[in-house]
Structures are given as C-alpha cells and as structure tokens.
Amino acid sequence: MTSSPSEPLEELLADLERRKIVCPLPIPWEALFRFIEKTKKLKMYPIEKGPEVRLINPLILGGWGASDVDKWDRFKYHLREADELGILNLAEEFLSKLHPKDFRFYRDAMSEKSAWDVDKELKDEVDKVLIKALPFVQTALDLNVPQRQQYNPKKLHALFKKHGFFGDYAPTVSDATDFETVEALRQAHDVYNKQSRMMEGKRDLEDFCEAILDLRIRTE
C-alpha cells in the first residue's frame, strides 16, 4: 500500500504545478528514472546481481504522444517512488539543475488529449470533407471502370489524368469530350482541393484517390 506523500513531496509537486511543468523532456526524464530504478533495486536486493525491479517506464519514445495529464501522472509516480525510497532530495536536486528548455510546460490547463486523439480528430475532419466526393467518384467510376476494378485507386487516378486533371489544375467543362465523366471528376476535384489545404489532407492527387476509395470501403 502506497503511503501518503511527505510534506517535501507535496511542496515539490505544488512548485511544479505553479511553474506549469508537466514533466522533464525525454532525456532528463530517462536519467531520473534510471537513478530511481537503480536505487530501488539496491534497496530491495543489496547485491550486485539481484532480480529485476519493476518500475513503470517514463512516457518517452513511443509513449511521448500520451496526454499531458498522463505524463504528469507518470512523473508524479516517479517522484512518489523517490520519496518512498528516501531519495526525494536527490531527485529534487537533479531537477533543480535542469534548464527551462529541459521541461515540457502547459499553458492554461493540462490537455487530456493524446497526440493520437488529436491525430484522429484531424483525420475525422478530413473524412467529413472527403465523403462529399464519394457520389461524384462513384459516377465517374461507373461510367468508365468495370465493377471489379473500382476499388483500385490507380484506375481512378488514371481517369483524372486522362481528362486533364493534374494537381490542383482542372480543365473547364467546355474542354471536355466526355461531359458527364469530366463534370463528376471536376466536382470530386473541388473536394480534393479543399481537403488538400487541411492539416491531414492529401496533397497529392494520387494519394487522394487512395484515400477516397479507402473511405468508400469503410463507409459501405
């Protein structure tokens, strides 16, 4: 059972919160973690080659995308471990020697969103735009591509190229020899241009073709 935090720990946590610190950046956090882990192992097994001691890793490397709230909770966990091991003063001394650039800070409030949450939200916003192109893409495919090949993005991209669509350039309807196909592609191309300006949008027309057909599969 975890003991109540000591007064020095409470004071340290309050100071970190006052300074709006979430956690150290990965390199110093890893160094602090290794020091606490080694101390814990030596206290539990004071021999050179004792069993492994479990201490939950800092949220670095693949974990760095975690929310600020999760990072702060993990950092506090490490400081509680240091407190219980009787080395909080050493951990605090280590932190005091770090520069502001060695910490992650928050502004108004710690975010509960992880990088993966934000990424999903951005992609969902793109999907809301992409879905508007589906009926136009379907029309162009139905007019030109056999059913069994309609999920091949190369076929859709070839249609765009055949009718003069390159990047953000689209021919006018008056230039078209196949009015219905070009009009459908032009409407889909308008959606391409709109989503290409979004953070997670596809800049390349070929990538757009792949994304729109992937969305078609996901929404069927």
What residues have CB less than 8 Å from 209, skipping those under 6 apart?
153, 154, 156, 157, 160
Q: Cα(135)–Cα(9) distance, rounded to whole angstroms? A: 60
Q: What is the pTM of this model?
A: 0.72
Question: For residue 172, what pLDDT is reported?
Answer: 72
Q: What is the pLDDT of residues 159-205, one digit of tens each?
A: 999 998 998 898 876 555 788 999 999 999 999 999 999 999 999 99
What local confidence, expressed as pLDDT, does residue 4 receive?
76
CA distances from 156 to 131, 184, 200 (A): 16, 12, 21
Q: What is the 3-state secondary structure (H, E, C) of 40-69?
A: HHHHHCCCCCCCCCCCCCCCCHHHHHCCHH
CB 114 within 8 A of CB 70: yes
What value does the CA radius of gyration of the chain take, rounded to a whole number of Å? 28
pLDDT value, residue 178: 84
Element (H, E) at 76: helix 68-85
Res 175: pLDDT: 56
The C-alpha atoms of residue 10 and residue 81 are separated, in whole angstroms, by 13
Tell me the CA distances in angstroms from 115 to 7, 17, 57, 103, 122, one per residue in order.
Answer: 34, 22, 19, 18, 11
pLDDT in tens, the chain (220 residues): 456 779 999 999 999 999 999 999 999 999 999 999 999 888 766 655 655 668 899 999 999 999 999 999 999 999 999 999 999 999 999 999 999 999 999 999 999 999 999 999 999 999 999 999 999 999 999 999 999 999 999 999 999 999 989 988 988 765 557 889 999 999 999 999 999 999 999 999 999 999 999 999 999 8
Residues 6+ apart with CB under 8 A from 114: 65, 66, 67, 70
pLDDT, position 42: 80
Phi, psi of 169 (to 5 degrees): -90, 135
